[in-house]
Each structure stands twice: as structure tokens, then as C-alpha cells.
Amino acid sequence: MNTKQQGGIAVNQLGYRSRDAKMAMIAGEVGRFRLVNHVSGETVWSGDTLPAVADAASGITVSRGDFSAWERPGTYRIETEDGQSSYPFVISEAVYEEAHQALLKAFYYFRCGMELEEKYAGPWKHAACHLTPALVYGEEPRTVDAWGGWHDAGDYGKYVAPGAKAAADLLLAYECYPQAFQRALPLPESDGVLLDVLHECRYELEWLLRMQDGGSGGAFHKLTTLQFPGPDVMPEEDTAALYITPISATATGCFAGVMAMAARVYAPYDAAFAASCLRAAERAWAWLERHPEYPGFRNPPEIVTGEYGDEQDQDERYWAAAELYRTTGDARYHEAFRELAGQGAFDQYELGWADMGGYGTISYLMSGKEREQDAELAARLLAGLQQRAAELATVSSQDGFGISLKPEQYIWGSNMLVMNHAMLLLIAGRLSGSTTYERCALEHVHYLFGANVVGMSFVTGFGSRPILHPHHRPSEGDGVEAPVPGLVSGGPNYGKQDDYAREHLADKAPAASFADVMESYATNEVTIYWNSPAVFVLSHFV
């Protein structure tokens, strides 16, 4: 048994594939380190660390030990001369498969409006929830029967723009890596015909369809109660009145984008469903055309749940135009896309729920319509994507833990940025036909699963020291000791916007501003759109 001190050496606690780059991050100026067989205690390889660097984001000096040369499968640990030891990890070709499935299965656990049966959910089962029709705020007594979809986060709100981002990530993962989804998940709809990732996305897409206003074609912004429920309230116990908030341009743009995308993806499997998605996307686009300028969404006075406010809607329109053009080939969508691309009013490479421009760029570049495309525009967008990827790789090369976040980017949901950046790096490589950025993307995976300054795996249920107390009401209220598995924690947040973080993390550096406690929603909440880019990235490596 290993009795040496643990904590000063950060590794990917899942492990490494044989031929991948393998790096241990060691606090302080070290020198020699060794790779030890965790079972026999035998030293199988040793070497010198790279020159130590002062890492601004983590606030410590980091020495990196490169043991990429060792490829033999087994279970190992890293040790240093001063008695430090890492957590054990494996070298194996199948190191990411189980985590990949759990990250996807997490969306099943986020499902609203249906019973999660023990047969499929295990001990994390619960009864059906939130089945009552929702009041349309400001139009009572009008109601909409918008059951279903995914709970957005650690609470039970459901939001169109973040939901569209999450579904888009999963659909993109399917388009890029269909072979990654051949292993079946325990889901009630599994039929051996439609891959489980498409079953899961459809559950959210059907809810999104219910969120389209039948009269105007616009998409309602969100569906929540007036206030958040208590921290240990189970979904079926959250029985307060549900409210649908007014239409927003950002929600409608995201709705149009993801529905046009779904129409394309589902067409080979279910022509009727695909056609309904396309009709919905076109109606939403018509709403956008009728409302070229629309005020950003703000919560009504009585509603204090997540706002997801966003004053800029050009990026959502840009994405919608790109997807509609890619799916239909209609020149009017192409013209709208070109016009929006030329305005330069938004970032065309971001992949966040508030900054959807990257999805429009990716869709256009992946459309396969080279003869019809604007060659100059496509070349500019591709060059910009490659430049952004190169910038991320440069930051990664200078970071003590090998990732592309600058100190000021450790914000609420920093792990979304970590995975979004890895996703962008992989797509940039895919579109250029190069593997240049693959290693850099993989460093982001290592970070997520433990190669970080807090020495934790940011995914529940995975690693020697995983997240145990996420800000997630079902995990808090279900009486099960372990949290729902496969949930990505938000991660370090220098903003420290909750009371626990302000009190206990006041003196922490940006990358160390994290607490594995339910109370710290600003660092340890979970959401569907933090899981979704992680599914995309691991799909590449399985």
C-alpha cells in the first residue's frame, strides 16, 4: 500500500492512452521524478522535470514531469525524491470509454417530466416532476404544456438558449464522431436503431418545440418557478407554479439554429420529426426577420431564477442562418449569413450560451457546399478559426497546467471554457486536416480529470478524488451517499459570487478558487452545457 504523501503531484486520475503525451504537474522546483508500478512498488522509469515555471493562474511554481516515453499498460503512480506521490492512474487504450458514457448518461439524469426508473437510473431514481402546464408570465391565465426536456443545472429551471447550446454540442459530436456512440447506454428508448445520443437529444428537442409560441413562431426564453427551491428539494417535490417568460430574440435565434441542425441530423432516421424541426426553424427565422431589433431579455420583477440575459442577438441570428443554409441550401439564408458575417458585431469563434457565433462559423465551414459558398468569406472564417486555435495553443504552452485559460478567464463555469476551447482546437484540426492541436486538446482533458492545482477530478464518480458535493439538488436530496455520476462541476471561479466562496476562498489564486461543497454554487454547480462540450471532446479520444 502506498503511504506516501499525496496532493503535490497532479495527474489525470483516469489515466493515459499508451501513445499519448503524459505529463505530471508537480508543485515546486523538483528535479528527479520516477514512475512506479502501483501494484509491485517497482520503479519502472525515471527522469528529470522540465524547468520550473511560476504559474500566474494557480499562484504556485510548477515543475512538469514528462513520462510520455513509457507506453506499457498497467497501473502506476508518480513519486518524487522528497516523498510526494500522485494518485494512481492507468495506462490503457480504453481509459476514456466509461467516462464518455457517463458524461452522456448525465443528460438522462437531467431529464424533467418523467420517472427515472431504478432499471435505468440505479439508486438515483426519482418520480416524474414538473408536469403541470406553465403560466405565460404577463398573459395569465394563458398556459403552455411545456413538460419534458432537461433541467438546466443544479436547480430545475429550463432555458432555451443554454439547452440549444447543449444539444448542439451533442449533435456536433454525433456528426463528427458517430463511431464514439456505438456502445448502448441503459436508456428506456434504446432500440438498436437510433444511437442513444440521438434519443437523448430528441428528449430536449421535443421540449424546445413546445417552447415555440404557436402564434408568432418566436421562442419563449425560459420556464421556471418564481424562485429557486430549497437545496435538498427533489424534482417531484418542487410543486410551485411554473412560469414561461416572454419571447426573446436570443432564444429564438438559438431555437432556429438547433432545429435546423436537428432537421439535418434526424432526416435519415425519422423524416416526419425532421420535417417538424425544419418547419419550426423556418417559423422562428420568420420571427427574427420581423423583429430585426429586439430588446435583450430581463427577468420580470417577480422572477429571480437564472436570467441568462444577453443584449447581443446577432451571433444567434448568424448561427441560425448558417444552419438553415446548410440544411436547406436556400440562397436567402446564405445571404443573411454573409450579411451578418460582414458586420463584425460579435465574436465568430466563441461557443458559449451567450456567444454562439462559433457554431455559425463551424456550420458554414462544415457545410460541404464549396461550390455555392462565398470562397473569400469561407477562407477568412477558416483563417480566423486557425488563428484562434493557435492563440489558445500559445496560452496552453505557457500555462503551468497546460490549458488555455488566462488568469482572468477563471469565471463562473470555467470548466465550460476549458472544454469549449478543447472542442474548438479539435474542430480547427479537423477542418485543416491536421493533428497539430490534438495534444493541446488532450491536456484540457487531463486538467478536467485531475491534472489541476486543486488535485481533483471535476467529474462526479471518476478519479481517485472526484467531486463529492456538487451544487445539484437531486444529489443533495436523494439520500444516496454518492452524487449522480458523470456531472461536470463548474470549476474554479475567481469571481467568488457566493457567500461560501467569499468567506473561504478569499486569498486563493484564480485556478485555486474552488470548493467541493453544495453551498458554493459559484464554483461547484453543474449544468447541461458544461457536460456537453466534454462529451464532444471525449468523443474524439474514444
Q: Which residue has the cell 478559426?
A: 385
Q: Which three cell numbers stand for residue 514?
A: 474552488
| Rounded Cα distance, 432 and 426, in Å | 10
Q: Of the residues 55, 155, 282, 399, which is catalytic?
A: 155
Q: Of the residues 238, 282, 355, 525, which is catalytic?
A: 525
Does the annotation count 516 as an active-site position?
Answer: yes
Say whether 492 sits in a helix, a strand or coil: coil
Q: Which three cell numbers stand for residue 267?
A: 432526416
Does the annotation count 355 as an active-site position?
Answer: no
Q: Between β-strands 243-244 and 134-136, what pairing exists: parallel, antiparallel or unpaired?
A: parallel
| Rounded Cα distance, 106 and 459, in Å | 11
Q: What is the dihedral of CA 151, 155, 156, 158, to 10 degrees?
A: -60
Q: Which residue has the cell 416572454?
A: 246
Buried b (16+ CB within 10 A) or exposed e, 466-494: bbbbbbbbbbbbbeeeebbbbbbbbbbbb
- The terminus-to-terminus CA distance of the chain in angstroms comes to 31
Q: How far apart, in Å, are the Cα atoms of 189 and each of 185, 197, 274, 350?
A: 10, 11, 18, 33
Other C-beta atoms lying within 10 Å of the C-beta of residue 273: 17
Nearest 5°: CA angle at 256, between 254 and 258? Answer: 65
Question: In 218-272, at which residue ranges do the beta strands (DSSP E only) sit?
Answer: 222-224, 243-244
Q: What are the start-end ranges of the H helices in 83-237?
A: 97-109, 118-121, 160-176, 196-210
Does the annotation count 151 as an active-site position?
Answer: no
Residue type, 419: M
Q: Concatenate the DSSP letters of all residues of 4-63 into one string.
A: SEESSEE--SSEE-TTS--EEEEES---EEEEEETTT--EEEEEEPPPPEEETTTTEEEE
H/E element, 187: none
Residue 84 near residue 15, CB atoms below 8 Å: no
| Rounded Cα distance, 267 and 92, in Å | 37
Q: Of the residues 270, 347, 516, 519, which is catalytic?
A: 516
Residue 288 near residue 249, CB atoms below 8 Å: yes
Widest pairwise Cα distance in the chain: 72
List phi, psi (to 5°) of 23: -135, 130
Q: Of the residues 130, 471, 472, 540, which is catalytic?
A: 471
Does the annotation count 145 as an active-site position?
Answer: no
Say whether 236 sits in a helix, a strand or coil: helix
Residues carrying an active site annotation: 155, 471, 516, 525
